[in-house]
Copies of this chain bind each other. A is one copy, B any other.
Amino acid sequence: MPLRTSFAQMNCSFARAIDVIGDPWTLLVLRECFLGVERFEGFMQALGLARNVLADRLQALVAEGVLEKLPVEGHARHHAYRLTEKGEALLPAMVALMQWGDVWISGAGAEPILAVGPDGAPLAPVGLRRANGRPLRPQDVRFAAGPGAEALTRGHLAQLQAQGRK
């Protein structure tokens, strides 16, 4: 897919992340992984998508190291797909997106699924914090060139800053 290739080459970790997981079906496959689905037929049953689409998304996630494909004991031709550490690390972004959907689409009191802690209590809303741990409002966040910024990125950020934006 040329689209994904061009995203991967962007000088931006957000674009690079989207290249790996920013396809709608991929995101739903990952949702099922976090819910505990591991088998091809389990994904099929939960999502009802075309077999070739599911196979393509699972293969890509394994190739990217987000999932690992493991043999199932006693079933020579069966496999389980499990989140790697890289995959598990996506959970804050995914919970934040689900919570956004809870607040702004489903509405408070109508949440279909809740992310809960070991005690069964719903998690706190995912929020932004300063390095010292103090909460920060979205409007107080700015963006700056990082150590991996290329000239084009630096220019883009400088131009926006000069225009009085963030």
A149 touches B11 (CB 8 A): no
Q: Are A138 and B88 in contact (CB under 8 A)?
A: yes
Instruction: Report the separation of the CA atoms of residues A113 and B101 in the bound assembly, to the nearest whole angstrom.
Output: 26
| Interface flags, A52-96, vs B, CB<8A=1, else 0 | 000000000000000000000000000000000010111111111
Chain B residue numbers with a CB within 8 Å of A150 are 112
Oligomeric state, in copies? 2
Interface residues on A, range: 35 or more
Contact partners of A128 in chain B: CB under 8 A: 91-92, 95, 115, 123, 126
**Cβ of A116 to closest chain B Cβ, rounded Å:** 5
A118's partner among B22, B38, B142 (CB-CB below 8 A) is B142
Whether A114 touches B143, Cβ cut-off 8 Å, given contacts A14-B97, A24-B18, A138-B92, is yes
How far apart sit A11 and B112, CA to CA, in the bound complex (Å)? Answer: 6
